[in-house]
Amino acid sequence: MRIAQIAPLHEAVPPKLYGGTERVVSFLTEELTSMGHDVTLFASGDSVTSARLTACWPQALRLDPAIRDPIAPHMLMMEQVARVAEQFDILHFHMDYWPFTYFSRQKTPMLTTMHGRLDLMELQPVFDAFPKVPIVSISNNQRLPLPQAHYVRTVLHGLPEKLLTPQPGPRDYFAFLGRICPEKGVDKAIRIARALNVPLKIAAKIDKVDAEYFEREIVPMLGEGVELIGEINDRQKPAFLSGARALLMPIDWPEPFGLVMIEAMACGTPVVAFRRGSVPEVLEDGLTGLIVNDEHEAITACARLPELQSDRIRERFEQRFTARRMAEDYLDIYRELIEARKTA
């Protein structure tokens, strides 16, 4: 199958450090290529792939200090894809609503995976205007604010099976992984760890928009068993996650998926997460993690962590969240859309 994967330009594919969407695009692209499909990746020029790379901008926009208008490179990307669209059997966009106007009117079947939150008021009229564009959600909960969208399926994310694996050694701290911002709840993670007298290691990025929040709210909480490591890459994650008693995820927003949950599971590490967004779809309470409603419940629930078995957590990851399973799910959708276009 001739497949185009179209990724955002904000990060390389895969990203050097943080970047959930681009990592998933990379995992999917590599898995489809390994399965024998002819895949072209439209992404930034510093991307690394075994597929054919069409570089739509020299480097990831986040790493280019000269970029002041990130819309312009993405507009150029849309034109580059449009000029060669008929060379593909399917166009798979990871660009939110960017492709809706033109690509819903051309001949090559297309779909868009929505990777972000959908509870934004301004999205309502956009999806009202495009009721037939095929959409893939990354959790069922993500769909709730936009029931009018044309969802063809929910496809849960997956990781390469051997990318992150359990490492030997003691599990003697709590881990926080991802991004420091109000909705991710790092302040709550600190309070939970301190209440239980367990060290907390924070491996996270800080976006410019959240720098003031970090300085005002988080910096005063550091020290006394709370260590800020900074951003880490995939090579560093197995040791970081395998050394943790649990990954803390006290989120305060409708998390569309939460890749860090399955990263922890791949390392046999349980997740203690607030019941928000996709969490009940990804975690199995009492098996791969503990689902709680607030800080108090989290503190109490952690007494159950010794009941959760690392090898069983890893087993459930292999059964539910591999990149191969994700790729097979998407191939089913591609075939359905291609066949539907033939009979239209």
H or E stretch covering 249: strand 244-249
CB-based burial, 205-221: b 16+ in 10 Å, e otherwise: ebeeebeebbeeebeeb
The two three-digit tokens of residue 30, written as one number: 């590599």
Tens digits of per-residue pLDDT, 190-236? Answer: 999 999 999 999 999 888 899 999 999 999 999 999 999 998 989 99
In this structure, are 152 and 10 located in the same domain? yes
Question: Is 166 part of any domain?
Answer: no
Tens digits of per-residue pLDDT, 115-128? Answer: 999 999 999 999 99
In this structure, are 222 and 279 located in the same domain? yes
Residue with tokens 């955002």: 8
The two three-digit tokens of residue 153, written as one number: 């399926």
> Residue 79: pLDDT above 90?
yes
Query: What pLDDT was estimated at residue 257?
Result: 96
Share of the chain above pLDDT 70, in %: 99
Position 16 confidence tier, pLDDT thresholds 50, 70, 90? confident
Phi/psi at 169 (5° precision): 130, 170
The alpha-helical segments, DSSP class H, found in the chain are 20-34, 71-84, 100-103, 123-129, 140-143, 186-195, 211-213, 237-242, 259-266, 279-282, 295-301, 310-320, 323-343
Query: What pLDDT was estimated at residue 160?
Result: 97
Query: What pLDDT was estimated at residue 20?
Result: 84
Q: What is the pTM of this model?
A: 0.94
In this structure, are 113 and 189 located in the same domain? no
Question: Is 188 part of any domain?
Answer: yes
Distance, CA of 181 to CA of 212 (rounded, Å) = 10
Angle between helix 323-343 and helix 20-34 axes, rounded to 10 deg? 80
Query: What pLDDT was estimated at residue 153?
Result: 98
Provide Rg for the chain, Cα atoms.
Answer: 20
Distance, CA of 4 to CA of 235 (rounded, Å) = 28
> Residue 19: pLDDT above 80?
no
Position 62 confidence tier, pLDDT thresholds 50, 70, 90? confident
202: three-class secondary structure by DSSP: strand
> Residue 65: pLDDT above 90?
no
Distance, CA of 192 to CA of 174 (rounded, Å) = 9
Distance, CA of 258 to CA of 277 (rounded, Å) = 9
Q: What is the CATH number of the domain that holds 192?
A: 3.40.50.2000
| Whether 67 contacts 46, CB under 8 Å | no
In this structure, are 195 and 109 located in the same domain? no
Query: What pLDDT was estimated at residue 14?
Result: 93
Query: What pLDDT was estimated at residue 228?
Result: 95
Query: What pLDDT was estimated at residue 342?
Result: 84
| Whether 232 contacts 175, CB under 8 Å | no
In this structure, are 10 and 140 located in the same domain? yes
Position 182 confidence tier, pLDDT thresholds 50, 70, 90? very high
Question: Is 224 part of any domain?
Answer: yes
The two three-digit tokens of residue 126, written as one number: 């956009």
Question: Is 71 part of any domain?
Answer: yes
In this structure, are 288 and 261 located in the same domain? yes
In this structure, are 14 and 148 located in the same domain? yes
In this structure, are 113 and 217 located in the same domain? no
What is the number of domains present in the chain?
Answer: 2
Lowest mean pLDDT across 13-17, 86-90, 104-108, 308-312: 13-17
> Residue 277: pLDDT above 80?
yes
Distance, CA of 66 to CA of 5 (rounded, Å) = 26
Query: What pLDDT was estimated at residue 246?
Result: 98
Give 79-102 as a DSSP string: HHHHHHGGG-SEEEE-STTTTHHH
The two three-digit tokens of residue 239, written as one number: 């040791």
Give 272-287 as a DSSP string: EEES-TTHHHH--BTT
Q: What is the mean predicted confidence (pLDDT) over 275-282?
A: 98
The two three-digit tokens of residue 178, written as one number: 């991802």
Position 63 confidence tier, pLDDT thresholds 50, 70, 90? confident
Q: How far is CA 161 from the centre of its chain?
A: 16
Q: How far is CA 304 from the centre of its chain?
A: 28
H or E stretch covering 43: strand 38-44
What's the chain's average pLDDT? 95
Query: What pLDDT was estimated at residue 208?
Result: 84
Cis, peptide link before residue 14, omega less than 30° from 0:
yes
In this structure, are 150 and 237 located in the same domain? no
In this structure, are 39 and 69 located in the same domain? yes
Domain with 75, as residue range(s), is 2-158+322-343
Distance, CA of 292 to CA of 250 (rounded, Å) = 9
Q: Please name the amino acid found at residue 30.
A: E
Question: Is 142 part of any domain?
Answer: yes
Question: Is 165 part of any domain?
Answer: no
> Residue 18: pLDDT above 80?
no
In this structure, are 52 and 83 located in the same domain? yes
Question: Is 284 part of any domain?
Answer: yes
Query: What pLDDT was estimated at residue 343?
Result: 82
Distance, CA of 39 to CA of 88 (rounded, Å) = 9
Question: Is 164 part of any domain?
Answer: no
In this structure, are 310 and 338 located in the same domain? no
